[in-house]
Amino acid sequence: MISKPKGTYDVLPDEVKSWTKLESTIRKLCQIYNYKEIRTPIFESGKVFHRDVNDTSDMVTKETYDFKDRSDRDMTLRPEGTAGVVRAFIENKLYVSAPVSKLFYIGPMFRYERPQKGRTRQFSQFGVEALGSNSPYMDAEVISLGTSLIKALGIRGVKVKINTIGDKETRDRYRQALVEYFNQYKDELCSDCLNRLEKNPLRILDCKIDRDKEFFKNAPKIKDYLTPASVSHFEAVIEALKSMKIDYEIEDNLVRGLDYYSHTVFELEADIPEFGAQNVLGGGGRYDTLVKDMDGPDTPGVGMGFGFDRLLLACSLAGKNLNSKDYLHVYFIALGEEARKAVISQMNVCRIGGLFCDMDYLGRGLKSQFKSADANNAMFTCILGDDELKNFKINIKNNETEEQETISLYDVYPYVLNKLNSKSVCAGCKEKEVK
Ligand code: HAM
């Protein structure tokens, strides 16, 4: 038997509904916030992600799926959405048609990570990117979209953790302070952090191995190195969050795992015990130099990404079932070859009219066909045997009321439509109305 690759999963028909429901909640929310959908390739030229030799993020250095195509070009399966969206923004000159591009995407990402609960090698992400404005209110808008999503899904116990890593001048000064500080503890740093100390000391703060060590507590804090411009940007973000009544916690050591950020960085963390280590539902931040670094015009940006799986897990732990049950309007039961032929044609009429229908294709007995009607959650069951067929009649049963009538074989569609429109079936069940 061939199995799925490690760290991947199948979304089976029973679970797909919760995925599409989540997608439609996201699409609705993005419409409310005026973000437009963008779809970019799942693989990109390797350069899109491997831009900077000094990039020390795990995602770029250890986790990308890199391969050569048949023409020996370096390709990478996208590990995240931001860089691909920025590539598309530059290549399609989206900055010409609008001063600000507010974009969102939903799709699979790939990271060669150690799989565990809430962390897989292929996962789906929802992300937004707002390109073109350096306003702190844009940062606040993105965070507000994130908290609105959490609210719309009915997930409780989610905290917004926020920090600033300032502008370039801030980070240059802070970097120097970190190098001086951590140089004293070189012997105690893990091998990754020794490398970070040389290339990007800021990322030491994000180290899962070293961050609990005693000397970490006294490491310099970025807030003491912020330039006045960085302070005022961050203060304005915080003021905007307050004005929108969004709760937040400032977390001094939050730097995020990707190298492109500047100024605001944030994460939405689930304080849900069952969640375990992978409790960050989403995160993001500002990236004011990424577009320029990718050879585009000097354009600021801010965005955020959410893992689908973690959102769905949080929903189910919160008792929110996004998985509404499938149903049919009509299940056709036919007894005998002639009846089957007649049913095929009447079912087709119903389907053209938009009713959800199915029938038995296995030539099974009455009992099994009734079982299938039940399993398919059919509102009506039509039963056609030889006797009815001779008189061009068909029996139709309302599965909710158990009432049964005999009607003209050719009247199934208008009969069901009439019942649905008069709402004499499944009162209050809007989902089952014919669209
Ligand atoms: P990220 O923090 O790497 O940021 O990922 C965002 C979210 O994707 C995480 O909070 C998590 O929910 C989910 N995620 C990441 N890796 C995995 C995994 N292996 N398995 C399951 N879920 C995962 C970014 O990707 C940035 N591009 C976000 C951003 C957009 N920043 C600015 N714009």
DSSP string, 86-149: HHHHHHTTHHHH-SSEEEEEEEEEE-----BTTB-SEEEEEEEEEES---HHHHHHHHHHHHHH
The answer for residues whose C-beta is within 8 angstroms of residue 415's C-beta and 6 or more apart is: 396, 407
DSSP class of residue 119 equals B
In this prediction, residue 422 carries a pLDDT of 83
> What is the arrangement of strands in the sheet containing 404-408, beginning at the earlier edge strand?
357-359, 328-334, 378-384, 393-398, 404-408
In this prediction, residue 424 carries a pLDDT of 53
Q: How far, in Å, is the centroid of ligand 1 from the Cα of 308?
A: 10
Give the span between the Cα atoms of 125 and 148, in whole angstroms: 17
List the pLDDT tens digit at each of the 435 positions of the chain.
999 999 999 999 989 999 999 999 999 999 999 999 999 999 999 999 998 877 778 888 889 999 999 999 999 999 999 999 999 999 999 999 999 999 999 999 999 999 998 899 999 999 999 999 999 999 999 999 999 999 999 998 899 999 999 999 999 999 999 999 999 998 888 888 888 888 888 888 878 787 778 888 889 999 999 999 999 999 999 999 999 999 999 998 898 878 899 999 999 999 887 877 788 999 999 999 999 999 999 999 999 999 999 999 999 888 888 888 899 999 999 999 999 999 999 999 999 999 999 999 999 999 999 999 999 999 999 999 999 999 999 999 999 999 999 999 999 999 999 999 986 555 444 344 443
- Predicted TM-score (pTM) of the model is 0.91
Report the CATH superfamily, name and number, of domain 13-167+227-317: Bira Bifunctional Protein; Domain 2 (3.30.930.10)
Instruction: Return the percent helix, strand and coil in the chain, to nearest 5.
Output: 40, 20, 35
State whether the beta carbon of 269 lies less than 6 angstroms from ligand 1.
no
For a mutational test of ligand 1's pocket, the pick from 49, 114, 120, 125, i.e. the residue with the most ligand atoms closer than 8 A to its C-beta, is: 125
Give the span between the Cα atoms of 138 and 23, in whole angstroms: 23
Q: Is the distance from CB of 140 to CB of 108 less than 8 angstroms?
A: no
Give the span between the Cα atoms of 123 and 168, in whole angstroms: 32
Give the span between the Cα atoms of 149 and 28, in whole angstroms: 10
Gyration radius of the chain over CA positions: 28
Q: How far, in Å, is the centroid of ligand 1 from the Cα of 415?
A: 51
Q: How far, in Å, is the centroid of ligand 1 from the Cα of 125?
A: 7
Give the span between the Cα atoms of 317 and 154, in whole angstroms: 10
In this prediction, residue 276 carries a pLDDT of 77
State whether the beta carbon of 120 lies less than 6 angstroms from ligand 1.
yes
Residues of the chain within CATH 3.40.50.800 domain(s) are 330-432
Q: How far, in Å, is the centroid of ligand 1 from the Cα of 6?
A: 19
For a mutational test of ligand 1's pocket, the pick from 35, 102, 123, 278, i.e. the residue with the most ligand atoms closer than 8 A to its C-beta, is: 123
Going by C-alpha positions, the residue among 236, 305, 217, 225 that lies closest to residue 266 is: 305
Tokens of 399: 């599965």
Alpha helix locations (H) across 128-215?
136-152, 168-183, 191-199
Q: What CATH code is assigned to 330-432?
A: 3.40.50.800
Q: How many helices (H) and strands (E) does the chain have?
A: 14, 16
Q: Is the distance from CB of 33 to CB of 276 less than 8 angstroms?
A: no
CA-closest residue to ligand 1 atom 9: 282
In this prediction, residue 429 carries a pLDDT of 46
Q: How far, in Å, is the centroid of ligand 1 from the Cα of 267?
A: 10
Going by C-alpha positions, the residue among 187, 194, 29, 214 that lies closest to residue 104 is: 29
DSSP class of residue 214 equals G
Q: Is the distance from CB of 241 to CB of 163 less than 8 angstroms?
A: no
In this prediction, residue 294 carries a pLDDT of 96
In this prediction, residue 303 carries a pLDDT of 98
Tokens of 108: 């699979």
Dihedral-angle region of residue 96 (phi above 0 means left; psi in -120 to 50 means alpha; beta otherwise): alpha
Q: Is the distance from CB of 219 to CB of 178 less than 8 angstroms?
A: yes
Going by C-alpha positions, the residue among 176, 211, 166, 173 that lies closest to residue 192 is: 211
In this prediction, residue 236 carries a pLDDT of 98
Going by C-alpha positions, the residue among 417, 379, 414 that lies closest to residue 400 is: 379
Residues of the chain within CATH 3.30.930.10 domain(s) are 13-167+227-317
Going by C-alpha positions, the residue among 269, 301, 299, 298 that lies closest to residue 285 is: 301
Q: Is the distance from CB of 380 to CB of 396 less than 8 angstroms?
A: yes
